[in-house]
Amino acid sequence: MALDVSDMTPAEAQLAQLETEEDIQHVLARGAAGVSLRSVTKQYGQFTAVENLFLDIPPGSYCCLLGPSGCGKTTTLRMIAGHETITSGEIHIGDRRVNDLPPAKRNTAMMFQNYALFPHKTIWQNVEFGLRMRKVSADERKQRVGEILDLVGLSHTSDRKPDQLSGGQQQRIALARALVTRPQVLMLDEPLSALDENLRVRMRSELRNIQKQFGLTFIQVTHHVEEAFSLSDQIVVMDHGHIDQVATPSELFDKPASQFVAKFIGDNNIFVGKVVNAVAESDGLETIELEVEGFGRIFSRGHAVPVGQTAACSVRPDLLNIVSEATPPDAMLVNRLTARIVDVELTGYVTRVSMLAEATGQELLYKVRTVEWSRSGLSEGQVVTLGWSAADCVFLPY
Ligand SMILES: Nc1ncnc2c1ncn2[C@@H]1O[C@H](COP(=O)(O)OP(=O)(O)OP(=O)(O)O)[C@@H](O)[C@H]1O
């Protein structure tokens, strides 16, 4: 049967050109593949959008590219998918260098922000489309489309058009359409951004379940910190076209590697000062003393830079403690400062308390279980002493 190519994306049109058995076998290959970026740079004219990226995404993992608008997440995703050329460097998918391969030959699939469903085709035809492009037989198409629609729980919608589905259902169909081609890597560009908050949280766990079930490599672009934390095995934090840190969610939460990451991922409290002393500890880290103007000495843990250099340290808002002024600092809560409560925000189980340091006016954030906050009897305008340990305070080279 002749293919209707009038509403194909460029990638799909390329697929339609696949001729050789080898091409088709590559595209139909199953199983997850890892992705490797080696010194990848993208320039648009004089502007460098991403520079010298090195990244290894293990096969079968869920990786999120996380960062503020304009940091280069989408450009990176599009280069992996082959929708954007790279200026220099190498990209490998599995054991293949894909720099010069068109999107259709990379064994990847892309799920777009707006789902890119064909409005005039039925749900069945939408899902079946990629298989037709790949010249899959009618019997196999029937079986695979049936299976995948079952899997996303939408078999009953197969005769409808996309605009007869809810946002969440359209999202599932877009996912089914991408998965039915059995890609080795699925790329998702802000897949949840069109959904309302409740649905987003539900679809998040569906995405994660499907990724686990298929054992595929998922690479997702997001600027939502919570989304990246809840989905990922690996989070790549990007800023201004560079990778700042690659880590698991818990590593990132406990040990941000830079001031940018510490701020971006969690409202951490950051203090900037000069290194005045560093003492080696048995776990290979050092306890580092920073002289911070207005506060005096602040103790943190990490890998020190030479004495005299400017550096910073970061403490999570939930690791601050309100302590009695009378209690002398001890090894547990060696860091102390006084602050005035300026705002209290109940967000559910957790209360966010904004404070201003008495000595410097620096804004500080304290997060506490709401039940504890209620028991404390504290309120706006009061001055409290905050204490935290060196172990909870992460040293950040400047
Ligand atoms: N075709 C293009 N021509 C010129 N500059 C571009 C082009 N595409 C992207 N850029 C620029 O490259 C930088 C990175 O863009 P990119 O879309 O990758 O960012 P992003 O992190 O995905 O942002 P967002 O979350 O807003 O989508 C931005 O400064 C953007 O303006």
* Of the residues 224, 253, 282, the one at which a domain ends: 253
Ligand 1 contact, 67 CB (< 6 A): yes
User: In this structure, are 228 and 304 located in the same domain?
Assistant: no
Strand partners, 352: 345, 367
User: In this structure, are 162 and 280 located in the same domain?
Assistant: no
User: In this structure, are 366 and 224 located in the same domain?
Assistant: no
Nearest ligand 1 atom, CA 221: 22
Ligand 1 contact, 47 CB (< 6 A): yes
* Of the residues 226, 253, 280, the one at which a domain ends: 253
Q: Determine the Cα–Cα distance for residues 128 and 345; give it in Å rounded to an integer.
A: 49
Q: Quote the distance between the C-alpha of residue 311 and its chain's center.
A: 26
Tabulate helix, strand, coil % of the chain (nearest 5): 30, 35, 35
Residue 190 lies in a domain: yes
Ligand 1 contact, 46 CB (< 6 A): no
Output the pLDDT for position 335.
Answer: 95
User: Cβ(112)–Cβ(174) under 8 Å?
Assistant: yes
Report CA-CA distances (Å) from 72 to 40, 45, 277: 12, 15, 38
Nearest ligand 1 atom, CA 77: 18
Residue 261 lies in a domain: no
Residue 167 identity: G
User: In this structure, are 243 and 310 located in the same domain?
Assistant: no
Q: Determine the Cα–Cα distance for residues 6 and 13; give it in Å rounded to an integer.
A: 9
**Residue 308: Cβ within 10 Å count:** 8
Residue 4 lies in a domain: no
Q: Tens digits of per-residue pLDDT, 364-388? A: 999 999 999 999 999 999 999 999 9
User: In this structure, are 239 and 287 located in the same domain?
Assistant: no
Residue 143 lies in a domain: yes
Ligand 1 contact, 70 CB (< 6 A): yes
Per the rule left: phi > 0, alpha: psi between -120 and 50, beta: everything else, 72 is: left
Ligand 1 centre distance from Cα of residue 249 (Å): 25
Output the pLDDT for position 329.
Answer: 67
Ligand 1 contact, 102 CB (< 6 A): no
DSSP secondary structure code for residue 272 in this structure: E
ipTM: 0.96
Residue ID of nearest Cα to ligand 1 atom 24: 69
198 Cβ partners below 8 Å, 6+ apart? Answer: none
User: Cβ(121)–Cβ(115) under 8 Å?
Assistant: no
**Residue 271: Cβ within 10 Å count:** 24
Which of these, 364, 249, 256, lies nearest to 300 by C-alpha position? 256
Residue 3 lies in a domain: no
Residue ID of nearest Cα to ligand 1 atom 28: 70
Residue 84 lies in a domain: yes
Q: Determine the Cα–Cα distance for residues 262 and 269; give it in Å rounded to an integer.
A: 8
User: In this structure, are 110 and 220 located in the same domain?
Assistant: yes
Low-confidence stretches of the chain (pLDDT < 70) are: 1-30, 114, 329, 331
Query: For a substitution probing ligand 1, which of 48, 53, 65, 74 has the most ligand atoms within 8 Å of its CB?
Result: 74
User: In this structure, are 81 and 107 located in the same domain?
Assistant: yes
Residue 259 lies in a domain: no
Instruction: Please count the structural domains in the chain.
Output: 2
Ligand 1 contact, 223 CB (< 6 A): yes
* pTM score, whole prediction: 0.83
* Of the residues 253, 284, 299, the one at which a domain ends: 253
Q: How many CA atoms lie within 13 A of 108 on its CB side?
A: 32
Residue 361 lies in a domain: yes
Ligand 1 centre distance from Cα of residue 205 (Å): 28
User: In this structure, are 172 and 63 located in the same domain?
Assistant: yes
User: In this structure, are 68 and 180 located in the same domain?
Assistant: yes
Task: List the CATH number of the domain containing 205.
Answer: 3.40.50.300
Ligand 1 centre distance from Cα of residue 121 (Å): 32
User: In this structure, are 393 and 312 located in the same domain?
Assistant: yes
Q: Quote the distance between the C-alpha of residue 155 and its chain's center.
A: 31
Ligand 1 centre distance from Cα of residue 75 (Å): 6
Ligand 1 contact, 66 CB (< 6 A): no
Ligand 1 contact, 73 CB (< 6 A): yes
Report CA-CA distances (Å) from 34 to 222, 233, 281: 20, 13, 37
Ligand 1 centre distance from Cα of residue 138 (Å): 41
Residue ID of nearest Cα to ligand 1 atom 22: 74
Task: List the CATH number of the domain containing 342.
Answer: 2.40.50.100
> Which token pair is 342?
């300026």
User: In this structure, are 161 and 282 located in the same domain?
Assistant: no
* Planar angle of CA 199, 205, 211, nearest 5 degrees: 130
Ligand 1 centre distance from Cα of residue 238 (Å): 12
Q: Determine the Cα–Cα distance for residues 159 and 145; give it in Å rounded to an integer.
A: 13
Ligand 1 contact, 44 CB (< 6 A): yes
Ligand 1 contact, 75 CB (< 6 A): yes
User: In this structure, are 291 and 228 located in the same domain?
Assistant: no
Q: Determine the Cα–Cα distance for residues 108 and 32; give it in Å rounded to an integer.
A: 10
Range of the domain at 86: 10-253
Query: For a substitution probing ligand 1, which of 75, 190, 227 has the most ligand atoms within 8 Å of its CB?
Result: 75
Q: Tens digits of per-residue pLDDT, 77-86? A: 999 999 999 9
